[in-house]
Amino acid sequence: MPGPERNEPEMEKIEVVSPWKDAYWQLKKNKLAMVGIFIIIFFIIVALIAPLLTPYAFNTISAGDRLSSPSAAHWFGTDDLGRDIFTRIVYGARISLMVGFFAVTGALVFGTFLGIIAGFFGRWIDMLISRIFDIMLAFPSILLAIAIVAILGPSLQNALIAIAIINIPIFGRLVRSKVISIRQEEYIMAAKAQGMKNGRILFHHVLPNSLAPIIVQATLGFGVAILEAAALGFLGLGAQAPTPEWGKMLSDSRQFIQSAPWTVLFPGISIMLVVLGFNMIGDGLRDALDPKMKN
């Protein structure tokens, strides 16, 4: 007679977690990153509903309310033309976030493209692109931005273009170094051995495996771009009056820093908070996406 059936031990089920899902959970555990996300979401909401937050227009001049201190009628006070500072702050959030988004997007697209080409193909292409990057990085970024805006003319659009251009080498060199390490991997050599075309290898293998440092740099780049836009605005090379750009607001109010400190205090705090928020998110993403930073 056959013996009693033996129940074979069941194999333990091991849940496979994707790297991106794991990074998401790591990011959620980072309290500083969560604070940064809250700050940026807050400013995004403020920018979207700006007309609902204030009864004033950002360019309405009221000579009778000139340099009024913060009050129930004007929460952040008024500037030297009697314009409501709170109104200009909330509308200025649109300008700063827009500059950060488009400048970083432009730098990311062109920098990533040039970095992938230089790192993957190497030889004279790599040497040419790398020397261009080295020349651009030899100049202080703000001086290079000033030179570009001086050639194109002072405006918010030209400041955005200048900020995008000066950040291209940062993305380019980052992606190039990552691609150089990836192209030596066995799966890249196997793809070449199978006759896969270079374009497909770049978009299906190289680019997806280079996303982690690109995402981190893009997040940090938002804060840098907003700070550079504020610097150009402060120098009169960015947004022009009456556009409510935070750097321009600081420039217009610097002569009242002692008699009416609220005119520079609130734009300065706004710049600081947005840049701080993006830096917190960038640091959190770096820790979440870098395996060496995980416990």
Level-2 CATH architecture, domain 29-53+82-293: Orthogonal Bundle (1.10)
Instruction: Please count the residues of the chain.
Output: 295
Is pLDDT of 76 > 70? yes
CA atoms within 13 A on the CB side of 170: 26
Whole-angstrom distance, CA of residue 160 vs CA of residue 96: 10
| Residue 133 backbone phi and psi in degrees, to 5 | -60, -45
Q: Domain extents for the chain? A: 29-53+82-293
Average pLDDT over residues 217-235: 88
Q: Among residues of the chain, what percentage have pLDDT more than 70?
A: 91
pTM score: 0.82
Q: Kindly give the interhelix angle for 156-182 and 85-121, rounded to the nearest 10 degrees.
A: 30
What integer best gives the mean pLDDT of the chain? Answer: 84
Spatial contact of 270 and 288, defined as CB atoms under 8 Å apart: no
The reported pLDDT for the residue numbered 201 is 77
- Residue with more model confidence, 27 or 82: 82
How far is C-alpha 109 from the geometric centre of its chain's CA atoms? Answer: 13
- Determine what percent of the chain is predicted with pLDDT higher than 90: 28
Rounded CA separation 95/246 (Å) = 8
pLDDT of residue 121: 83
Residue-wise pLDDT tens digits, 147-202: 999 999 888 899 999 999 999 999 999 988 888 888 777 777 777 777 777 777 77
β-bridge partners, 78? 84
Mean pLDDT in residue range 4-27? 60
Alpha-carbon span 253 to 54, nearest angstrom:
21
